Structure 1
Amino acid sequence: MKASLALVSVALAFVPSALAHYRFTSLVAGSTVTDPYVYVRQNTNYNTPVTDVTSTDLRCNVGGLASAANTSTYTVSSGETVGLALDQPIYHPGVVNVYLAKAPGNASAFDGSGSVWFKVYQLSATVSNGEYTWPDNNLGQITFPLPTALPAGQYLLRVEQIALHVAQTFGGAQFYLSCGQINVSTGGSGTPSPLVAIPGVYTGKEPGILIDIYSTATSYTQPGPAVWTG
């Protein structure tokens, strides 16, 4: 298994970038998948991942802050299933984290700065017989139920897939990410925590980010804070 993964990674290194990468482009709410970049902030680096964990691009991708005003906000309720869909399925081995940040007003005017983000969902790696098993790398969308205790208001919904196929050196992990904009019209009275800043949540040296996935595995530590479930 490890050898086959290595061969796949080498082969993909020679695939043209327009074919090799994937983007989160559409909001998912219940059974609805919206058109691309209506409720998801459009990035300007096409399908190139972010690799600098200290950059503000880690927040909503390159161009994601500038496109905020042109992005609509979709109304949902706490407890509803939401997420983001991709333009093609994920195939790089890696893990997924989903964060929310409550806007002080309109989501379209919110830059997501400060310690305002909290994790609400994750897909982690498992270990068996010394090898990693990754979340299904044919996923075409990442969805999860919003916590029922989530307070009403407008939020940035940030999904990241951390691709780890070349993460054995610092800066090698690839972050594929986007931010959607949602309005939680019917919410609860919970207090989301812990709150983190993006950038700031990662140093890039976490054992779940700086990692040789082709070596013998004994465990995997998901990067970032604990999931808030409400």
Structure 2
Amino acid sequence: MKILSVFLLAVVAVEGHYTFPRLVVNGKTVEDRDWLFTRQTKNAQSKSGIENPTSGDIRCYSSTTAPQIATVPAGASVNYISTQQINHPGPTQYYLARVPAGSSAKTWDGSGSVWWKFASTMPYYDANKQLVWPAQNTYATHPAAIPANTPSGEYLLRVEQIALHMASQANKAQFYISCSQINITNGGNGTPGPTVSLPGAYRSNDPGIQVNIYNLQPDAYRAPGPAPWQG
């Protein structure tokens, strides 16, 4: 009986993990197979999240680059298909990093203070007075619009969903991450910022990373990283 209980707990743990292998643009899945525009992550098989926010894996968690670059118009809505239900509570955040001149989104590693956030979700109470996040318990991340004033060019698009169900303990928040290679078209002349480095932007004890969500008012949550740029 004890062995069976351990096995069932292991199954539940695996089923509670996920990856984001397919990009969605304006409500349409643009990848007809996994990891076409999105860089395959190290957890493609295990589905486990990152627990150390200062690790180099916090940038893209990628094991390989993707073979192609997706065309995404400025102002478009983006989100990701999940391999499993996103049942862990926590925010979804989106970042962009512009590829330097002379480099390609197919090969650039995203190093340096180049990442800027453009969206972050906040929790709310459902009808049962339970704290939940947008798109929780669905099979896709919550969508966000790329600011219309984003300059045209090649970028790395990064999504993260931070699972906070065990986050009252140090290094127990779980980061589920993907990075896609995109080319933004029809952009504007904005100056996105502030920019941060990944790793570098997060610390293990940031209030949005080490937090007890079971004793939290919805408007009291403060997501880690810079404020979103709205263009």
Match of 1:189 in 2: 189
The 3-state SS of whatever aligns with 1:44 is coil
Distance apart, 1:79 and its partner CA: 1.1
CA 1:122–1:13 in 2, change beyond 3 Å: closer, same or farther? Answer: farther
Work out the CA distance in 2 between the residues paired with 1:40 and 1:78.
18
Match of 1:139 in 2: 138
Unaligned runs of 5+ in 2: 1-7
- TM-score, normalised by the number of residues in structure 1: 0.86
Match of 2:5 in 1: none
Match of 2:117 in 1: 119
Distance apart, 1:186 and its partner CA: 1.9
Match of 1:4 in 2: none
Match of 2:64 in 1: 67
RMSD of aligned Cα (Å):
2.1
Work out the CA distance in 2 between the residues paired with 1:185 and 1:115.
23
Deviates more, 1:189-198 or 1:46-55: 46-55
Match of 2:91 in 1: 95
Partner AA of 1:32 in structure 2: K
Match of 1:40 in 2: 38
The 3-state SS of whatever aligns with 2:191 is coil
The 3-state SS of whatever aligns with 1:15 is helix
Structural mapping, 1:149-228, within 5 Å: 149-215=149-215, 217=217, 219-228=220-229
CA 1:208–1:103 in 2, change beyond 3 Å: closer, same or farther? Answer: same
Partner AA of 2:229 in structure 1: W
CA 1:54–1:150 in 2, change beyond 3 Å: closer, same or farther? Answer: same
Deviates more, 1:193-202 or 1:208-217: 208-217
Distance apart, 1:140 and its partner CA: 2.2
Partner AA of 2:92 in structure 1: V
Aligned length in residues: 215
Work out the CA distance in 2 between the residues paired with 1:94 and 1:13.
22
Deviates more, 1:49-58 or 1:217-226: 217-226
CA 1:120–1:170 in 2, change beyond 3 Å: closer, same or farther? Answer: same
Distance apart, 1:93 and its partner CA: 0.8
Distance apart, 1:17 and its partner CA: 4.4
Partner AA of 1:141 in structure 2: A
CA 1:222–1:211 in 2, change beyond 3 Å: closer, same or farther? Answer: same
Work out the CA distance in 1 between the residues paired with 2:221 and 2:125.
7
Q: String of CA shifts for 1:42-89, please: whole Å, max 9, x gaps.
A: 01222010111111101111xx1x411x43110121112222221122
Distance apart, 1:14 and its partner CA: 4.3
Q: String of CA shifts for 1:108-158, please: whole Å, max 9, x gaps.
A: 111011100000111112469996343331232232221110001111110
Match of 2:73 in 1: 77
